[in-house]
Amino acid sequence: MDVICVDGRYRLGEKLGSGSYATVYRARDIITEQVIAVKLEPITNSAICPLEHEYSVLNQLKGTGLPRPLWFGREGSHQVMVLENLGASLDKLLQSSSTGAFELSHVAELGLQMISRLEHIHSHNFIHRDVKPQNIVMGTGDSKDIVFLIDFSIAKQYHHPTSRIHIPMKESGSLVGTPAFASLNSHFRRELSCQDDLEALAYSLMFLHRGSLPWLEEGAQCSSIRKFKESLGSVHYDIPEELLSFLMYVRSLSFMQKPDYDLLWGILLPARSSLALVRKEVQAISVAQPNGPCGASDDGATCNTPVK
């Protein structure tokens, strides 16, 4: 790595994680002494720069529970984005928990916040396309109770902001997202829309509550995961009714149909716990966790690796 200091003020520290295109480091603003995160992407001859795309998307979205970009530019042989520092991902917190799973009430509380995140993103004409526990992180400091959605490198505009014309349904040619959490439409290589973000959220909530997913427990290859997902609802996998109802509603949506976010709230709301209890659990299992990667996943399993 040929980058030590970015923009003359952000000094890089330890490596936090790496994804398919970028590496994330903890860094310090030498002027304010603030701890921040820095994402580095090697400059290539490709016409597509995922980091620049992510920076553009985040600047258009700007909302609660979304990473705040502080600077973007070139440093040496890398494109660089500086972001506010965030906490550990729900995936890492789950790994550190004593039971290896979260209570349904806590999962419901996390799910309610994520519904709000996705509603905000969708209302601004974008879909995320890679919702998974590794991309859901807790805030720090004054934002410690806020759930953040990160990594917008493959986010896509599904509505034209002026004409409001929806992108058409078509074959995409490849699976988009991470196989373990991708929607059925993604497995069928179809264009994605709002419903697919919510379906991926449903699988993420199941994962957090069970500590795994049926297809991961069986070591299924990516080509077999679709069959497991199709069987949900007809085969008993010890999944709470609330999460199954969430999934079945989302799957019932048509490609261009606007989700009823209030209905989804109504499904999870009865199962929620108080925020104080969620905070207590998260704090208990995050004591030994360093602040996590802001937009990079270091998982290595094939079915957990995003396809972009």
Residues annotated catalytic, as ranges: 130
* Residue environment code for 131-150, b if the CB has 16+ CB neighbours within 10 A, otherwise e: bbbbbbbbbbeebeebbbbb
Backbone angles phi, psi at 114, to 5 degrees: -70, -35
Which tokens sit at 154?
Answer: 């493959």
Q: What's the rounded Cα separation, in Å, for the pair 283 and 188? A: 39
Q: Which residue has the tokens 């995936």?
A: 91
Rounded to the nearest angstrom, the gap between the alpha carbon of residue 186 and the centroid of all alpha carbons in its chain is: 16
- Whole-angstrom CA distances from 177 to 88, 111, 239, 294 are 21, 19, 23, 17
Report the SS3 class of residue 255: coil
Q: What tokens does 16 get?
A: 């936090």
156 is in an annotated binding site: no
Q: How far apart are CA 28 and CA 14, in angstroms?
A: 11
Residues contacting 50, CB < 8 A, separation 6+:
21, 22, 41, 153, 154, 308
| Cα–Cα distance, 107 to 270 (Å, whole number) | 12
The CA radius of gyration of the chain, in Å to the nearest whole number, is: 19
CA within 13 Å, CB half, 163 = 6
Q: Could you tell me if 22 and 72 are in contact, meaning their C-beta atoms sit under 8 angstroms apart?
A: no
DSSP β-bridge partners for residue 307: 177
From residue 112, how far is each of 77, 245, 268 by CA, in Å? Answer: 41, 14, 7
- Rounded to an integer, what distance in angstroms lies between the CA atom of residue 265 and that of residue 279? 20
Known binding-site residues for ATP equal 39
Known binding-site residues equal 39
